[in-house]
């Protein structure tokens, strides 16, 4: 991952930094088990129409191909994605992600459930952000076709603590965030559901979120409830920091 980060940094330096973006960071949570991962992402920004000169500008369209990686040592992933924003606050994305797991999770029965190997995710997503007088509403709807390495065992989604059908299943993810901005701070609530369409197993979470931005670094703290069909409701803390090396033209 470090080698890829250095390559992306060098590539962006060689290119026009008003076209290429680059960011990296880390995130962690306390439930269903204490864990953390590091990530990095780089994309190419091409305006379709309009212009983006100041942060308040929103009358423009954008296309952005990108690549990203993440690692927690025992779980590693790579994704390639294409985002299209007909106007800056409405977007659509399609991508493929490869996730490789080398770990048996203590909150799942990995003798009965496929926890290890390479999982392929093909997804499409729609997203929208609306704002007025400091209030922000962001919504996401994602359809994810997941293929596991084995056809003999149900496949694990350890991030959401749910289990899908063997070999292949379809997953629907919905997110809604409502928040209020004040200077370099933002506070709000995040509601999320994820459900396999084949097995019908479902995860649900509800968080209070505080975000603090210092120049090009963003810190996020979330606290709330998490439950799934395989995990009773419990309290979860979520932490994230993100460092922007070269900014994107995206609003969100």
pLDDT in tens, 37-63: 999 999 999 999 999 988 889 999 999
User: Domains (ranges, CATH) in the chain?
Assistant: 2-246 (2.40.160.40)
Q: Of 95, 96, 101, which Cα lies nearest the Cα of 76?
A: 101
Average pLDDT over residues 245-252: 95
Is the pLDDT at 7 greater than 80? The verdict is no
Read off the pLDDT band of 17 (50, 70, 90).
Answer: low
What mean pLDDT comes out for the span 204-215?
Answer: 97
Q: What is the pLDDT of residue 74?
A: 95
Question: Strands, DSSP E only, in 162-246?
Answer: 162-166, 168-182, 185-196, 202-214, 217-228, 231-246
* Residue 127 main-chain phi, psi, to 5 deg: -150, 150
pLDDT of residue 150: 87
CB atoms within 10 A of CB 251: 19
Q: Return the H-helix or E-strand segment holding 142.
A: strand 135-147
pLDDT (tens digit, 9 = 90+) per residue, 135-176? Answer: 999 999 999 999 999 888 999 999 999 999 999 999 999 999
For residue 6, is pLDDT > 60? no
Taking all residues of the chain, what is their mean pLDDT, rounded to a whole number? 93
Phi, psi for 11 (deg, rounded to 5): -60, -40
Task: Annotate 176-192 with b (16+ C-beta within 10 A) or e (fewer).
Answer: ebebebeeeebebebeb
Q: Are 176 and 190 in contact (CB under 8 A)?
A: yes
Percent of the chain exceeding pLDDT 70 equals 93
Q: Give tens-digit pLDDT for 82-93.
A: 999 999 999 999
| Residue 12: pLDDT over 50 | no
Structure tokens of 64? 């952005």
* Whether residue 5 has pLDDT greater than 50: no
């Amino acid at each position: 991952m470090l080698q890829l980060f250095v390559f992306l940094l060098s590539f962006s330096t060689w290119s026009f930094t008003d076209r290429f973006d680059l960011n990296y960071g880390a995130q962690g949570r306390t439930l269903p088990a204490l864990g953390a991962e590091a990530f990095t992402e780089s994309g190419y920004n091409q305006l379709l129409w309009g212009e983006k000169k100041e942060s308040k500008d929103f009358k423009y369209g954008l296309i952005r191909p990108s690549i990203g990686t993440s690692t927690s040592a025992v779980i590693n992933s790579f994704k390639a994605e294409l985002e299209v924003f007909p106007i800056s606050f409405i977007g659509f994305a399609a991508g493929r992600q490869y996730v490789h797991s080398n770990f048996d999770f203590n909150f799942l029965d990995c003798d009965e459930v496929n926890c290890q190997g390479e999982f392929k995710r093909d997804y499409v997503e729609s997203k929208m952000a609306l704002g007025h007088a400091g209030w922000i509403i962001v919504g996401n709807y994602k359809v994810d076709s997941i293929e596991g390495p084995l056809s003999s065992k149900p496949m694990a989604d350890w991030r959401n603590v749910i289990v899908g059908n063997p070999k292949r299943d379809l997953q629907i993810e919905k997110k809604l965030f409502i928040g209020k901005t004040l200077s370099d701070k933002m506070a709000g609530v995040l509601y999320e559901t994820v459900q396999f369409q084949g097995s019908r197993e479902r995860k649900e979470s509800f968080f209070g979120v505080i975000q603090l931005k210092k120049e090009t670094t963003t810190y996020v703290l979330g606290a709330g409830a998490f439950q799934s069909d395989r995990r009773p409701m419990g309290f979860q803390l979520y932490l994230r920091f993100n460092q922007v090396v070269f900014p994107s033209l995206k609003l969100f």
